[in-house]
Amino acid sequence: MTQSLLLVLTTVATRADADALARAMVEQRLAACAQISAIDSVYRWQGAVQSEGEFRVLFKTTAERYPALEAALRSSHPYELPAIVALPVVQALPAFADWVITEVNCPVVIE
């Protein structure tokens, strides 16, 4: 089962944006969970080297849910060109993998 698990990363400028993306993707069952970390980023943008504090959001999902997760991130992401990167999970505790798969495959309940 672990072959279908993915870790999906993106970055945003504010904690509020990170919280909003994390909550929305988990509520929509596009990710089983999301983790937020403060990071420092150095990158080239529009011809100049930039250095900014950012927040990385790590989503745990499946390959099957990735297209919908990517589309949702793109539509609600505050950046003009967001970094959205998926990494395959090579090994995982089977019970954890089952939990991720179950969480993203349950129907969305609107309260």
Q: Strand ranges (DSSP E) for the chain?
A: 5-12, 33-45, 48-62, 85-88
Question: Would you list the domain boundaries of the chain?
Answer: 2-105
3-class DSSP assignment, residue 95: helix
**What pTM did the predictor assign?**
0.92
Instruction: Answer yes or no: are the C-beta atoms of 82 and 8 closer than 8 Å.
Output: no
The answer, yes or no, to whether residue 109 has pLDDT greater than 90, is no
Q: From 3.90.660.20, 3.30.70.120, 3.40.190.10, 3.40.630.40, which CATH number describes the 2-105 domain?
A: 3.30.70.120
Q: What is the pLDDT of residues 42-97, one digit of tens each?
A: 999 999 999 999 999 999 999 999 999 999 999 999 999 999 999 999 999 999 99
* DSSP category for residue 107: P
Residue 2 has pLDDT above 60, yes or no: no
User: What's the longest Cα–Cα distance across the chain?
Assistant: 47
